Amino acid sequence: MTLTTPTATIFLPYHALDEVHQRGTRAAQPAAAAVVPGTLYCVTDEGGILERSDGTVWETWGPALWSTGSVQLTYDWSTVITEPPTGSQIRLDAVHPYTAATKAWVRTGTTGGIEVRGILMVITPGSTFYVQNKTNSAQYALLTTTGDPVDKTSYVEFPVEWKNNGTALLNNQNVQFIIIRREGA
């Protein structure tokens, strides 16, 4: 089989076509083996999920930040245990100690104003969440994702399982949110 190198093919989410070209039917996703390995394809009309061809199959792909296996983002911790998080918050559905936590809610914007929906939506089950006070490593929560992320428009919900924690994180405390992708994901 001969692979063809696209010269100017860009796969866009359907809603983005309005600004690029006249609206028309969305093209079907080509077979992964029919494109050059490394080609990206937007899976949803919202543009939140990307897949990348490895030359044989399409696999979920995240931005280059994942090349190290982890990404670090800055958020504000909230002690409110209900959804939705506001501002640039991250919340759990449990109070300290976080042993009863089953959900984490993460706003799609960080305290640095970075929109990270794409990064959050490619987090795979079995990934590790480590939330720590930026200036005190004794204050932390360690969780593992147990299912796929759920896009809730302004935030993302994750099913989680408690692994460990230090002393309680305080309300409105600036925290580092470190996501470590599950090995092989």
**Strand, coil or helix: 99:** helix
Fold adopted by 65-180: Elongation Factor Tu (Ef-tu); domain 3 (2.40.30)
Residue 42: what pLDDT? Answer: 58
Whether the per-residue pLDDT at 73 is higher than 80: the answer is yes
**Residue indicated by tokens 């504000």:** 76
Cα–Cα distances in angstroms (integers) from residue 72 to residues 54, 77, 85, 88, 169, in the given order: 26, 15, 19, 14, 18
pLDDT: which is higher, 91 or 24 = 91
- CATH 2.40.30 placement within the chain: 65-180
Residue 37: what pLDDT? Answer: 73
- Mean pLDDT (whole number) for 87-116: 92
Residue 109: what pLDDT? Answer: 84
Nearest by Cα to 138 from 170, 185, 116, 103: 170
- What does pLDDT average to over the chain? 78
Give the pLDDT band (50/70/90) at residue 171: very high
Whether the per-residue pLDDT at 61 is higher than 70: the answer is no
